[in-house]
């Protein structure tokens, strides 16, 4: 099949987590023999910020890790809509312009043969629903939601059985334990500061516990204001700046453990949806401790694949145990790797996507257009 995916950016992972998952899924679809194309708009903010901060060298790690991936950068919606008219599957990520979704949907309603899917991997459906309602999805065949609680939102918006849960996953061709183990020390956290969506949680579950456990802490990410930098310094943490996601496995391999601190919206309004860093960390075999989040879909085995801390004191105890207990680290490593291999690789998600498309394209299935957007 010819599969076209419209992303915000494939080349840049600067504050753009969807790029992690997309790269792995597209590579798996290509390995299965499908003709895969990625499209991204000219002037994408993620790519512009990456080049501003690091120049073209900021994309070198991505190019080395994914030499067979490329994207078409388009200046105008009209020309690119024509370009994918003969595709079999078209997927539009929610960090695209509403005008693009409307144009592709209009073509679909006008007789285009492709199966058209909307891919949502963010909390805006609950945090900024008016923004999402700008998308005219009336010509779309279905919605891919990256968790069941987000899928429920779309069902309430009238999508019924045409919304599908499509979780993120680890690209295990890249994210895996190192071939040779070297000395590991301290903690690592890879994540962006964001818009004050978890500043208190980072203080409670990351900065203070690491200090209390006597473990060095390396922080990688972007959008850290001066206030955040000062908070890191008070706790003795080292801010390392942005790191390409393609280098994350080598960074994980240098550290004893890492921590998952979900954003507040996911904990309170979209429970059950972890960040992609959970999948990637477990795939790399690094022990993981998590701030509170409810695995409502049973994606993992809390307490077995990773440790869960209900408060800051519990996190400090977990980190102390991880520092002192090699057997605990080995158990978490083995269990996390087993769960990823069994259920949560990009190869699994590629197969799931093809299954969803096959179901929508099956003979006798009639897709009636929705009468309203979103």
Task: Specify whether 30 is located in the same domain as 125.
Answer: yes
Distance CA 308, CA 302 (A): 7
Q: What is the pLDDT of residue 374?
A: 46
Buried b (16+ CB within 10 A) or exposed e, 24-51: bbbbbbeeeebebbbbbbeebebbebbb
Residue 276: CB atoms within 10 A of its CB come to 22
Instruction: State the alpha helices, DSSP H only, in 67-169.
Output: 77-83, 98-109, 124-127, 129-132, 148-156
Q: What is the pLDDT of residue 371?
A: 45
Average pLDDT for consecutive 10-residue bins of the chain (374 residues)? 98 96 98 98 96 96 98 93 97 97 97 98 94 96 97 96 98 98 97 84 96 97 93 94 98 98 90 95 98 96 98 98 98 98 98 98 60 44
Residue 55: CB atoms within 10 A of its CB come to 10
Write out the residue range of the structural domain in which residue 201 sits: 187-343
Task: Specify whether 195 is located in the same domain as 314.
Answer: yes
* pTM for this prediction: 0.95
Task: Specify whether 113 is located in the same domain as 258.
Answer: no
Task: Specify whether 148 is located in the same domain as 209.
Answer: no
In three-state form (DSSP H/G/I as H, E/B as E, the rest C), the secondary structure along 327-359 is HHHHHHHHHHHHHHHHHCEHHHHHHHHHHHHHH
The total of structural domains in the chain comes to 2
Q: Is residue 206 part of a domain?
A: yes
């Amino acid at each position: 099949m010819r599969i076209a995916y419209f992303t915000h950016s494939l080349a840049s992972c600067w504050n753009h987590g969807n790029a992690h998952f997309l790269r792995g899924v597209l590579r798996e679809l290509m390995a299965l023999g499908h003709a895969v194309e990625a499209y991204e708009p000219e002037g994408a903010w993620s790519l512009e910020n990456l080049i501003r901060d690091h120049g073209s060298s900021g994309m070198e790690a991505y190019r080395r890790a994914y030499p067979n991936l490329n994207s078409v950068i388009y200046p105008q919606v009209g020309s690119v809509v024509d370009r994918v008219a003969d595709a079999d599957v078209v997927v539009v990520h929610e960090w695209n312009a509403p005008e693009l979704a409307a144009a592709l949907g209009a073509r679909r309603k006008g007789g285009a043969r492709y199966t058209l899917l909307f891919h949502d991997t963010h909390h805006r459906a609950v945090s900024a629903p008016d923004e999402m309602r700008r998308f005219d999805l009336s010509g779309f065949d279905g919605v891919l939601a990256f968790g069941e609680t987000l899928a429920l939102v779309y069902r309430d918006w009238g999508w019924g059985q045409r919304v599908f849960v499509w979780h993120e996953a680890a690209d295990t061709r890249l994210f895996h334990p190192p071939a040779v183990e070297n000395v590991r020390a301290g903690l690592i956290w890879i994540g962006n500061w964001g818009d004050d969506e978890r500043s208190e949680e980072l203080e409670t579950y990351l900065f203070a516990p690491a200090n209390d456990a006597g473990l060095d802490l390396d922080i990688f990410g972007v959008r850290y204001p001066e206030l955040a930098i000062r908070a890191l310094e008070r706790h003795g943490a080292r801010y390392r700046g942005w790191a390409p996601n393609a280098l994350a496995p080598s960074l994980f391999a240098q550290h004893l453990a890492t921590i998952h601190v979900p954003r507040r919206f996911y904990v309170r309004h979209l429970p059950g949806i972890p960040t992609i860093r959970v999948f990637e960390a477990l795939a790399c075999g690094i022990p993981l401790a998590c701030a509170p989040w409810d695995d409502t879909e049973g994606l993992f085995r809390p307490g077995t694949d990773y440790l869960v801390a209900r408060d800051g004191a519990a996190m400090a105890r977990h980190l102390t145990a991880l520092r002192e207990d090699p057997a605990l680290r080995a158990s978490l490593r083995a269990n996390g790797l087993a769960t990823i291999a069994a259920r949560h690789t990009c190869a699994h998600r590629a197969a799931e996507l093809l299954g969803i498309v096959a179901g929508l394209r099956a003979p006798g299935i009639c897709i009636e257009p929705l009468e309203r957007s979103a």
